[in-house]
Amino acid sequence: MNLFKLLKTRIVFVSALSILLIAVTLVVAGVLTRQEAESRYQVEAFNGKRLLWDRIVDGQLKSMHAELFSFTRNSIAMAALSESDGKALSNQLQSTFNRLKASQIIDGMQVFSASGQVLFKSSVTGAEVVFAGVAQSSLATGKITTGIEKDRAGKLNLVFALPLYNAPGSGVGVGVYTRSLQALLDEFKRSEGSDVYILNDNSKVIFSTNKELFAQLTPSLPSFGERKYQHYSVANEAYAVLVQPVMGADGRAVAHFLSATEDTESYTKRTNIQLYSSV
């Protein structure tokens, strides 16, 4: 009789232990599944923002590229450049700048001589490209060179540089178009709805679509060149805040790109699913 009770006790114990192990396994599997789902969601969010930003940058560069003839077909301007005649060059190019500015293709335009001297410059934002960068690379390689880089005042611009020739094989200088990153942020917001920001390596906002929201978010930034996903609550609304690097012409990080997307409904649904799954 005692042996029977002992066996029965052991069977009950083993059964209870098996049920407990199964329950623990299911809970762990549920947690891992939720973590994987959230991780996929974050990766997709990062990729979506990056793809849109790249598309906007690429579209801007294509618009600049379509205006190559503004330099290359102006034989009088090319002759003036070969003579380092800044006044004659300005007479030829100022109207071109005005036209491209009005078409919202560029904010600034410069021409360098082969030695790096600025012979013409005109800009809405006051941007002045430094020769030792995209412009010099274009002259050295004989190819169109583009990228995001700091101007003489330390502000970031999208730069398009084109080597200029007065005769085949005779390089006489470099023509440069610039576009403020503010214009690209404004287009990003129009396309996707998120508020977006560019912050420098000192975590200071230098371009913004909504300064008031940023002040309420006070987001935590990752190390320069890294990315980070966070959630914040502002006035009973949830915001997904993504930070990732802006890459410069040299392939290195030059700024933080931060997007703040109101996703209260989506965040609430994901949170509820996690709660139900853990019950």
Q: What is the pLDDT of residues 49-66, one digit of tens each?
A: 999 999 999 999 999 999
Can you tell me the mean pLDDT for 144-171?
Answer: 90
pLDDT of residue 277 exceeding 60, the answer is: no
Give the Å distances, CA to CA, from 180 to 7, 197, 270.
81, 13, 37
pTM of the predicted model, to two decimals? 0.81
Considering 70-84, 164-178, 184-198, 258-272, the range whose residues carry the highest mean pLDDT is: 184-198
Element (H, E) at 127: none
- Measured CA to CA, the distance from residue 54 to residue 49 in angstroms comes to 9
What pLDDT, on the 0 to 100 scale, is given for residue 32?
Answer: 45
Can you tell me the mean pLDDT for 128-139?
Answer: 92
What pLDDT, on the 0 to 100 scale, is given for residue 125?
Answer: 85
- Measured CA to CA, the distance from residue 112 to residue 114 in angstroms comes to 6
pLDDT of residue 266 exceeding 90, the answer is: no
- Measured CA to CA, the distance from residue 115 to residue 128 in angstroms comes to 17
Q: Where are the beta strands (DSSP E) in 117-252?
A: 118-123, 145-150, 156-167, 170-180, 195-199, 205-208, 228-234, 237-247
What pLDDT, on the 0 to 100 scale, is given for residue 14?
Answer: 57
Q: Which residue has the higher pLDDT, 24 or 252?
A: 252
pLDDT of residue 189 exceeding 50, the answer is: yes
Q: Which residue has the higher pLDDT, 16 or 46?
A: 46
Torsion angle of the four alpha carbons 129, 134, 138, 143, in this order, in degrees rounded to the nearest 10 = -130
Give the Å distances, CA to CA, from 98 to 81, 109, 259.
19, 10, 32
What pLDDT, on the 0 to 100 scale, is given for residue 45?
Answer: 86
Q: Which residue has the higher pLDDT, 111 or 72?
A: 111
What pLDDT, on the 0 to 100 scale, is given for residue 272?
Answer: 46
What pLDDT, on the 0 to 100 scale, is given for residue 40?
Answer: 82
What pLDDT, on the 0 to 100 scale, is given for residue 170?
Answer: 75
What average pLDDT is seen over the chain? Answer: 86
Q: Which residue has the higher pLDDT, 103 or 268?
A: 103
pLDDT of residue 159 exceeding 50, the answer is: yes
What pLDDT, on the 0 to 100 scale, is given for residue 29?
Answer: 47
- Measured CA to CA, the distance from residue 212 to residue 4 in angstroms comes to 75
Instruction: Give the tens place of pLDDT for each residue, 199-213.
Output: 998 999 999 999 999
Reported as a pLDDT band with limits 50, 70 and 90, residue 72 is: confident
- Which tokens hold the place of 54? 């790249």
Reported as a pLDDT band with limits 50, 70 and 90, residue 84 is: very high
Question: How much of the chain, in percent, has pLDDT values that exceed 90?
Answer: 62
pLDDT of residue 178 exceeding 90, the answer is: yes
pLDDT of residue 31 exceeding 50, the answer is: no
